[in-house]
C-alpha cells in the first residue's frame, strides 16, 4: 500500500488500541502525535496532554500540533471510556445520574465533535483529509454491561460520521467509522470470555493490530473513494 507521509493525530493513544494505531501509522511513514489525558509510556511518538471532553484543551492541543509539526491531515478519534459494570450488570437507566450520563457522552461523543471541529479548517485548506472515528459493536447491539450512556454515545457516532462525510466529501476529506468487537487488551482478563469467543466465527478475540490495520487502510490514498462507511471489525460476531 503506497503511503505519503502525513501529519496524523491519534487520540487516546496512551495504550491499547490507540497505541497500536499510532505505532502502525508511524510505521507507514506518517508523523504521528498522540493526544491523551494520560502520559504515554515511552517517547517514540510525540505526545500532547489533552482532555477531549474540554473544547479549550482540544483547541490548545491542535494549535500546538500545527505550530510544531504542521496542519493535521489525519485524525483518528479513539479516546473513549466504558464504565465498569457494578456487580456484573449495567447501571439501569432509572438509577443513572446526570453526572454518569454526561461523563460518558462528553468523552465518547462530544470529544469526537471537538476534535473534528478543530481539525477540519486545516484539512479543507489543504483539500485533503482522513477522519476515522471509533465506535463499538455496543452501538450496534444491546449492550447490557456498558449501559445506555455508552451505547448512546457509540451509536451517535454512526450518524455523526455520515453527516461529516456528506459535508466534507467535496473538500477531499473522507470520514469513516470503525466498530470493533471485543479486543484483547490488558483489561481483557476481567471478563469471562470463553462463551463469548465460542460465538466468534474466527475463533478468537480481536487484537489491537486488527483495528490498526483497518485504520491504516482508511487513512491511505487508496481509500479515497471510501467515506461514510461503518466498518465492523469483530471476527464475524455481528454481521449487519
Catalytic sites, residue numbers: 150
> What is the pairing mode between strands 47-49 and 173-180?
unpaired
**H runs (alpha helix) in 73-207:** 98-105, 111-126, 148-168, 194-198
Strand partners, 47: 34
Sheet of 173-180, strands arranged across:
47-49, 31-36, 7-11, 74-77, 129-134, 173-180, 230-233
What distance in Å separates the CA atoms of residue 181 and residue 237, rounded to the nearest whole number? 7
Name the nearest CA neighbour of 191 among 201, 199, 200, 182.
182
Contact 59, 118 (CB under 8 A): yes
What distance in Å separates the CA atoms of residue 151 and residue 144, rounded to the nearest whole number? 9
Burial readout 56-65 (b: 16 or more C-beta within 10 A, e: otherwise): ebbeebbeeb
Count Cα atoms within 13 angstroms, Cβ side, for 200: 18
Amino acid at each position: 500500500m503506497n503511503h505519503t507521509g502525513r501529519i496524523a493525530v491519534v487520540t487516546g493513544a496512551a495504550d491499547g488500541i490507540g497505541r497500536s494505531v499510532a505505532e502502525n501509522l508511524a510505521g507507514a511513514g506518517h508523523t504521528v502525535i498522540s493526544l491523551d489525558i494520560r502520559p504515554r509510556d515511552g517517547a517514540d511518538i510525540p505526545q500532547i496532554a489533552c482532555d477531549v471532553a474540554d473544547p479549550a484543551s482540544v483547541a490548545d492541543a491542535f494549535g500546538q500540533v500545527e505550530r510544531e509539526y504542521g496542519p493535521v491531515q489525519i485524525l483518528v478519534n479513539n479516546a473513549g471510556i466504558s464504565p465498569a459494570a457494578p456487580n456484573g450488570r449495567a447501571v439501569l437507566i432509572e438509577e443513572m445520574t446526570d453526572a454518569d450520563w454526561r461523563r460518558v457522552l462528553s468523552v465518547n461523543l462530544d470529544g469526537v465533535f471537538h476534535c473534528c471541529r478543530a481539525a477540519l479548517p486545516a484539512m479543507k485548506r489543504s483539500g485533503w483529509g482522513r477522519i476515522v472515528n471509533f465506535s463499538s459493536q455496543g452501538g450496534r447491539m444491546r449492550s447490557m454491561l456498558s449501559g445506555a450512556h455508552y451505547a448512546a454515545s457509540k451509536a451517535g457516532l454512526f450518524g455523526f460520521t455520515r453527516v461529516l462525510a456528506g459535508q466534507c466529501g467535496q473538500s477531499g476529506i473522507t470520514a469513516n467509522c470503525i466498530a470493533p468487537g471485543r479486543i484483547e487488551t490488558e483489561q481483557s482478563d476481567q471478563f469471562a470470555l470463553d462463551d463469548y469467543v465460542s460465538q466468534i466465527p474466527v475463533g478468537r478475540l480481536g487484537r489491537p493490530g486488527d483495528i490498526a490495520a483497518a485504520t491504516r487502510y482508511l487513512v491511505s490514498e487508496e481509500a479515497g473513494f471510501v467515506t461514510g462507511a461503518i466498518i465492523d471489525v469483530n471476527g464475524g460476531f455481528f454481521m449487519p
